[in-house]
Amino acid sequence: MDSGTDIRFDRDTSNCSIARTLEVVGEKWTILILREVWYGSSRFSDFERILGCPRNLLAERLRKLVEHGILSTETYREPGARSRLRYVITPKGIDLMPAVMGLMQWGDRYRADPEGPPIVTRHRNCGARLDVQVRCEHDHHVTAADTETEPGPGFRMKADASANLPNPVLHEGGRIGEQAT
């Protein structure tokens, strides 16, 4: 029986993977630090010089990236100098590459100078330019029009909207109802 509850408005959005990710990396300096790590920077002084980020913000963003396991630190020492930390990308950080590259690709398409993008990223093995795409687990190229959503295992309705739905399921048009028994 369909109660008329609408998933778009009555879902509990506090359990959102996008919002939780943005809490960690959704700030300009954080994304730019990740960009510079991929370009080869690893030292605080390098980030400060390249980005022009205020020291306190840079220290906070690096601390947060380390705290969340996106970067790790290693000690290094140049001859005649004291030991210092360098920042190294972790597997968790590498998993962010498609998202950051997607932002760059969008920026190259819609926000670049008339002359074109400032940096071109290529596949080291064949030399072709990178192209970020969404693909399904069967390796099909997928556009936004080709997608549909459904409640996942962590899906929750707002308490007041789901009180009478012990087994909510998504029906056509974004409506939630009880699972047929």
Three-state secondary structure of 17-64: HHHHHHHHHCCHHHHHHHHHHHCCCCEHHHHHHHHCCCHHHHHHHHHH
Tell me the two tokens of residue 64.
């947060």
* Of residues 133, 103, 135, the one with CA closest to residue 119: 103
Pairing of strands 84-89, 71-76: antiparallel
Q: What are the tens digits of pLDDT across the range 159-172? A: 765 555 555 555 55
Domains, the chain, ordered by start: 2-95+133-178 (1.10.10.10), 97-132 (no CATH)
Tell me the two tokens of residue 139.
């390796």
- Would you say 37 and 22 are in contact if contact means Cβ atoms under 8 Å apart? no
Tell me the two tokens of residue 98.
């498609």
Q: CA-CA distances (angstroms) from residue 155 to 107, 136, 179?
A: 32, 21, 14
Q: What are the tens digits of pLDDT across the range 46-101? A: 999 999 999 999 999 999 999 999 999 999 998 999 999 999 999 999 999 999 99
